Structure formats: structure tokens, C-alpha cells
Structure 1
């Protein structure tokens, strides 16, 4: 009954976006607009992924959650009754705002949603940087003073990124995505963002974009100092090379690499999201075959009994699994470099 699901992407116009998702991944972008985000897997109010293959073509992820929740998620927990993960591809042609997502305890007070996320960089221009966390020694008082002076970026830790880097952003970590990068984003199903500074630019309507300074100051963890990319440690096996990116109560994410044609067999019974970074991977399960090319994702329901991955040559793939119904706590891959 259950099979790997291909979903229609939903494109988002952003003042900082570009057109690279068409050139890199063949996305059919609406003409003439700066597209910053392609929502590949989404179960948000007003933004729900539509299934485009198999017996459920034309149905959407909301329907699947309502009618077949157990077969879709298995032992994974949902996010307020919705599919637990939101998966995007981002094209940052320009610098994004300095922002923060509220931790759970703050989100309750402010009427928002917590959001923890992972960035996996697939394309970076020379000199690309991001901002994440605070510089060592910065206090809240200094942060607020620099903010009033229009110099808050001096308080935020900045570091270079390259293709293949992964950065973990727990709720409460102040951050800004730099210009000239494309990335896969795997996150908790939430869309609450508090902008604290937007580089004095205007939005698509020609007006300054709304800031949320009071909410941001409540949300920022001022003891979160100088994080970096996650360490790049690959472990070889008969199934290829695996890099554990994040093992957290909300989601686990692995990167997989293969250097030549191969067939990999994985057990089913777990909800997964698979996305190809490079190369070509055919996914077989439940009597259905889907082909994943770079920038293509599929959702594998827990009700799929077994999976077979046919790798066409050198390839790289991300595998994301939502967190379990019961969790002993949060475990995160150590940040490094």
C-alpha cells in the first residue's frame, strides 16, 4: 500500500533570492522572480506538499497525515498533528537578515513555534560566509548597544563555509545566512522567525522589512558562543560511506556517498526523507520506483517494508528521519572546524 512519495515543490519569492535552483536542479521557477526557497516537503497551513506519483497522486501530505498517520510516521512523533519535518532548498543570492528562532519555552510565551534546523551546503561561491552564535565575551548589554548603533554584526560569530559543510542551528542561536550559497535545509516543522537586523535594506514592496527586536532579544541564547561547522567524519561500510550529521531528539540526519554503481538494501519500518545532492539514485519500495536526481526529494513512509537503492555511479544523498515518540533527551553531533 505504501510507497516512496515524490512531492511537488512550492517556490517562495524572497528579496535575497536568485534563479540558481533552475540551473542547478531543473526547478520550473516562475519567470522573473527572485526565488529564495523551494519547499520540498511541507505540511504547513496554506503550504502543503501535493503527491505527484503513484496511487495517491493529487492527494497531499495533510490528507496522508489525517488518513494514514501510523503508516506514514510509524514510531515517529508528529509536530502538533502535522508532518514533523519541513525540508527546503535555499538559494541565497544576497545576505539574509540577522534572525533567531525561539526556544520552546520562549515560543510558548510569545505565541510562536520553536525551530531547530540543519543547513547542508551544496554550492558556495569563493569567500562565502555565514554568521552563527555570538563572539566570545559579548554580553546582552553590548549586543543591544551595537544594535542601536547599527553595528550588531560585530557581535556575531562569522566563519567561512564551503560545499559539503553542515551547520546545526538549535532554537535560540542567532544567525544570518551569507550571500552566494545554496543549501538543503532540514528543520522542525515551524515557520517562526524573529528578525533583529536587516542590514538597512528594503523588501520586495520597497519598504523596510518588519523587525521583531523585543521577541528576538528574548529568544537569543547569549551563552551560545562561536559554533562552527559539524566535523566531516565519514565511516565506510558495505553500503557506502556514511557521515552522521545530527542525532537529535527532533531528527537524525546522515549523509551517504558512493563512488560507483551499487545496489543498497535498507530495512523499512521507519519514516525517512531522502534527497540527492549529486548523482542519481533509484529508490524501490512498495512496488513503486522513483528516480532521484540532484535537488529531488522523496518521502518514504514507515509502512514501506523494505527499500532498495540503485546508485547509478558517484552519488551523494541525505537521509533524514524524524525523532521518535519517546526520547531520552537530545544528542547532537559535536561541532568543529
Structure 2
């Protein structure tokens, strides 16, 4: 039976990582530079594995092979095949991440035989003054951008956004961006690990080497226009479903709950993901229940006809296709 499924976190050490994934979210990390916890992943080489219940030890790929449309939903399989189309992460930036962007589906398919990477961020915690880089601060010509790399003046062209808990950002493909130091966030994205790094503050890795840049690949992938389409304005009505982002690749809702809520999923031809970003709740579907607390993620199969969330105070992100 496809009860609400939890998965072992896949922890990633990063040059810019810290300890908030342990200190704030309770992840089992030992290093002081853990930057990412991949909560739900179908990326080759980093496949999530069920952490509890009768299916413990079964990988997400095996579940999909065995359960197919019962797990994913027919409409999801029709669009994406038998691959999990969403990658869910928590990210802790103790230091600034590199300035980067992601190609669209067409370029990613042509160059890397994979999907592009549209993503969104929900800020869970931010040190005072923490910032994101999102897009340019004016329309930029390709030649001007290339010259700024040569002259080490790229930072002068970028848009900076100070952030606080609850702020949400939608990062479409081609948009230059970076997570700044002091930010802990939840990330929802297409299943893709293709990143074009264009500037890394001249930092060196643990072996003393400069990290690889993708200057030429990025030139034709960047959106050079200044656009104010990144900050998500959404309602935060308590004990209601508040839509944050609804794009072709995922739909994310915000739930601030103070008591039990039951949702009808019988017409939803998709799996459902819940990320807990505050508090704790018990989540039940047709086949069982599990507790979810801050920093945890669960997957409900498309076969679910309902979900009941019992809590005295929890904040959840609900993700579907």
C-alpha cells in the first residue's frame, strides 16, 4: 500500500555550506559545510530511498517501476514518462553561492539530453541583511555582459533583493541568480542538475582550484532583460489553501494550519508532496499516516483520494503537477 512516504535525505557538502540544516532542520550532518539536503530526487546517481514503513529501503525508481501511474498519475506519466519530474531540496548558504543560471528545456535537451531547470525558493530563515541576486538591474546587451566578465564588473549589473522568512521567488530559466550568505530556503524545481556557473567570486575549492565556469554555454541561455517577475505575491490566509506558484512544471500552495484540514484528492491526477517549513502535523491518506515536522518532506501517491492533516500549528508547502 502506498502510505505517505518519507525518504532518507541525500546530504551534499558544498564550498558555501554551513550547519543550519542540522541546527535548524535537524538533519543528520557531521560536517560544517553541508549545503543541500535533497529530500526527494529522481536524479541519476542521487535516487531517494524510502526511510520508514513496509517499503523502507525501496528506491523511488523502484517504486515508479512497480506502481507507475498509481504513484505518479496518468497525466504526469503522459508528460514526463516514468521519471520523477520534481526535485525537492533544502539549501543552507553560509556563504554566497556562485552566480548562475539554468537553460530552458530546448537548450537542455539539445546540449545535455535532459530537461531545463525552472525553480522556486521559499525563504525559511535569513540572517539580518541577507540577500539574493535575481536578474539584472537594467536591460543588458550580450556584448555588455561579456565585457563585464572580462572587466570583473558583473556585480554592478545585478539586482539584489534583501529577504526575510516567508519571501518566495520564482526563478524561470535564463534568469541569472544566486543565493546569498545567511539564507536557509526550500527549493522546488524541475528534475535537472544542469547549472551554468558564470561567476564564483574567484574562490578556490578544497584542492586550491578555481571552480569551473560555463561562460560560453551561458551566453545563449541568459535572459538579458530586466524583469520584475521573480518576487511571488501570495495570500497567507490561515487554514486555507493559498496558491503561490502555478507553472507548467509544478504547482505550489501555502498552508498555514491551526487545526485539522481534509482535502479531496480524488480528481487530482498527480502525486502530492508536502514540505513542512514550520511546526508539526500528522498526515493521513487512504493507506496510512505519518508525522511530519519542520525540515521533513513526504510524498502521497496519485492513488490517494484524500489527505487529512491534523495539527495544532504547522506551515506546509504543497506541491503537485
Bin for the TM-score computed over the shorter chain:
over 0.9
Q: Kindly indicate whether residue 123 of structure 2 is the aligned counterpart of residue 101 of structure 1.
A: no
Match of residue 274 from structure 1: 274
Match of residue 330 from structure 1: none
Give 1:150 shift.
1.1
Shift in alpha-carbon separation, 1:226–1:285, aligned structure 2, 3 A = closer
Give 1:20 shift.
0.9
CA contact (8 A) 1:136 1:226 kept: no
2: distance between equivalents of 1:279 and 1:248? 27
1:228-247 residue pairs with structure 2 within 5 A?
228-235=230-237, 240-247=239-246
2: distance between equivalents of 1:9 and 1:321? 20
Residue ranges of structure 2 left out of the alignment (5+ in a row): none
CA contact (8 A) 2:281 2:313 kept: no
2: distance between equivalents of 1:52 and 1:278? 21
More moved, 287-296 vs 82-91: 287-296
1: distance between equivalents of 2:128 and 2:240? 27
1: distance between equivalents of 2:229 and 2:305? 39
Secondary structure at the residue paired with 1:114?
A: coil
More moved, 207-216 vs 222-231: 222-231
2: distance between equivalents of 1:147 and 1:227? 25
Give 1:156 shift.
1.4
TM-score, normalised to structure 2's length? 0.94
CA contact (8 A) 1:134 1:226 kept: no
Secondary structure at the residue paired with 2:129?
A: coil
Deviations 1:123-179 (A, max 9, x none): 001001111111223222211111111111111111111110000001111111111
Match of residue 149 from structure 2: 147
Aligned length: 315
Residue ranges of structure 1 left out of the alignment (5+ in a row): 323-337
CA contact (8 A) 1:282 1:309 kept: yes
CA contact (8 A) 1:280 1:292 kept: yes
1: distance between equivalents of 2:315 and 2:207? 39
Give 1:80 shift.
5.3
Match of residue 12 from structure 1: 12
2: distance between equivalents of 1:243 and 1:127? 28
Give 1:108 shift.
2.8
Match of residue 156 from structure 1: 158
TM-score, normalised to structure 1's length? 0.90
CA contact (8 A) 1:157 1:226 kept: no
Q: 2:262 aligns with which of 241, 262, 265?
A: 265
CA contact (8 A) 2:134 2:177 kept: yes
Poorly superposed stretches of 4+, deviation over 6 Å: none
Shift in alpha-carbon separation, 1:188–1:8, aligned structure 2, 3 A = same
Give 1:268 shift.
2.8
Deviations 1:42-63 (A, max 9, x none): 0111111111222211111000
2: distance between equivalents of 1:171 and 1:274? 24
Match of residue 93 from structure 2: 92
Match of residue 167 from structure 1: 169
2: distance between equivalents of 1:226 and 1:128? 19
Give 1:228 shift.
4.1
More moved, 173-182 vs 269-278: 269-278
2: distance between equivalents of 1:14 and 1:76? 36
Shift in alpha-carbon separation, 1:12–1:278, aligned structure 2, 3 A = same
Secondary structure at the residue paired with 1:142?
A: helix
2: distance between equivalents of 1:57 and 1:80? 24
Shift in alpha-carbon separation, 1:227–1:306, aligned structure 2, 3 A = closer
CA contact (8 A) 1:97 1:195 kept: yes
CA contact (8 A) 1:159 1:228 kept: no
CA contact (8 A) 2:105 2:116 kept: yes
Deviations 1:167-219 (A, max 9, x none): 00011111111110000000000000010111111123221000000011111
2: distance between equivalents of 1:321 and 1:206? 42
